[in-house]
Amino acid sequence: MQLSIDNVGKTYRGKVRGLDNFTLDLGPGVLGLLGPNGAGKSTLMRILATLTKPTQGRVTWNGTDIVKSPDALRNVLGYLPQDFGVYPNLSPQEFLEYIAAAKGIAARAARTRIDELLQLVNLSDVRKRPLGGFSGGMRQRVGIAEALLNDPRLLIVDEPTAGLDPEERVRFRSLLSDLSGERIVILSTHIVSDVEATATRIALINRGKLVACDAPEALLRAVEGRVWEWMVTSDELAAVRQRYRVSATWRRSDGVRVRAVGAEPPTSAAQAMPPSLEDAYLMHIAADAAA
């Protein structure tokens, strides 16, 4: 099972580049996709989901070009976009039955699968309530069930934990980890902790380009000895933010503790700290932006 992205680019009207010479090979596991807004994450996912065609390069699924033969991938694809629609008058049961029929899943098999998924996303007790009365987090769980309905080999999820409470977020992280051994999962999110908890590899995107792709441990090693913490006053904070790559701040009774990434200690009082994934992300994106 392999998904290959070979020199893929996407140019929109006005010569706006959504992706630029993007190359990546993926096998089973969870790929965490991180990047600032407008970096090209959604463009990449729409291309992989066969909703948008690239203007250069190609994507292959087990050697088959997905532009020339999209059904080869669509039959084994699960896709949860950030904004997905539901029919407000249908219940979760009815909605998933409708989607299963559209996917060509036999009625008996669909009923069994829907029962499993509603239990998995903790919606069994509201399976007959109209979706129009659901909260955002509950609708998100319906979307997760929809994406898993055909037991996909490639699962693409965009901000899947948005709107979920902490317990539901932990449940979904565990689900992704359980799924990753037998399929390719692509998780796009701005919540670094979600990626940190589930991803076997992390791809950093900026300005439509692949900045880095590696195991979390390797990304952390790249920033070792470059993370610093020190105290400043509230009045100094604005100037510190302008001068250094600040990843976090904490208000204390004696001032503000600052955490920043840099090759050299910002002051003699700064202490070297173990790096986090957020530090690694900040370092790579900032370095790319300055290039």
The full set of domain ranges for the chain reads 3-220, 225-274
Select the CATH number that applies to the domain covering 3-220 from these four: 3.40.50.2300, 3.40.50.300, 3.30.565.10, 3.10.20.30: 3.40.50.300
The stretch 129-157 carries a mean pLDDT of 88
Does pLDDT of 55 surpass 90? yes
Strands of the sheet containing 16-26, edge to edge, are 16-26, 3-12, 56-61, 64-65
pLDDT in tens, 158-180: 877 766 778 778 877 777 777 76
Does pLDDT of 14 surpass 90? no
Residue-level pLDDT at 86: 78
Name the nearest CA neighbour of 7 among 25, 22, 17, 18. Answer: 22
As a whole number of angstroms, the distance between CA 85 and CA 109 comes to 24
Does pLDDT of 49 surpass 80? yes
Residue 9 · residue 20 · CB < 8 Å:
yes
Does pLDDT of 6 surpass 90? yes
Around Cβ 206, how many Cβ atoms within 10 Å?
21
pLDDT in tens, 249-274: 999 998 999 999 998 999 998 999 99
pTM value is 0.85
Does pLDDT of 25 surpass 70? yes
Does pLDDT of 220 surpass 90? yes
Pairwise pLDDT comparison (165 vs 156), residue with the higher score: 156
Does pLDDT of 12 surpass 80? yes
Residue-level pLDDT at 167: 78
Around Cβ 223, how many Cβ atoms within 10 Å?
19
As a whole number of angstroms, the distance between CA 254 and CA 248 comes to 17
Work out the pLDDT band at 291, boundaries 50, 70, 90. Answer: low
Q: What percent of the chain has pLDDT over 70?
A: 98
Residue-level pLDDT at 212: 92
Tokens of 257: 């503790």
